[in-house]
């Protein structure tokens, strides 16, 4: 997965997100693709992820959760295409 591609670099950068207020983080990621929102949430603790998710639009919450559950299917090719 992404962790395997970027290793410690991505892990440490994503770990910083735990210090962002959940409402603010939800606002920041809400305009991103649902798959990318799922990736962000997957790097957070379950408690913080749940808090962030609660501030996202209810109409997409189930889809984001589904995508988090399926993240083992995220390929390096998808991530490289997404990040350019």
- Output the pLDDT for position 3: 46
pTM above 0.75? no
* Helix or strand holding residue 49 (H, E): helix 46-55
Between 3 and 34, name the one with better pLDDT.
Answer: 34
Domains of the chain listed by start with CATH number = 2-83 (1.10.220.30)
pLDDT digits (tens, 9 = 90+) for 20-79: 899 999 999 999 999 999 988 988 889 999 999 999 999 999 999 999 998 874 544 455
Place of tokens 């749940």: 50
């Amino acid at each position: 997965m992404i962790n395997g591609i970027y290793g410690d670099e991505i892990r440490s950068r994503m770990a910083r997100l735990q210090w962002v207020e959940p409402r603010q983080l939800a606002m920041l990621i809400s305009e991103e693709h649902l798959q990318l929102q799922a990736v962000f949430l997957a790097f957070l603790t379950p408690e913080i992820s749940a808090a962030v998710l609660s501030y996202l639009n209810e109409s997409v919450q189930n889809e984001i959760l589904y995508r988090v559950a399926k993240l083992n299917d995220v390929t390096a090719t998808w991530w490289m295409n997404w990040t350019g």
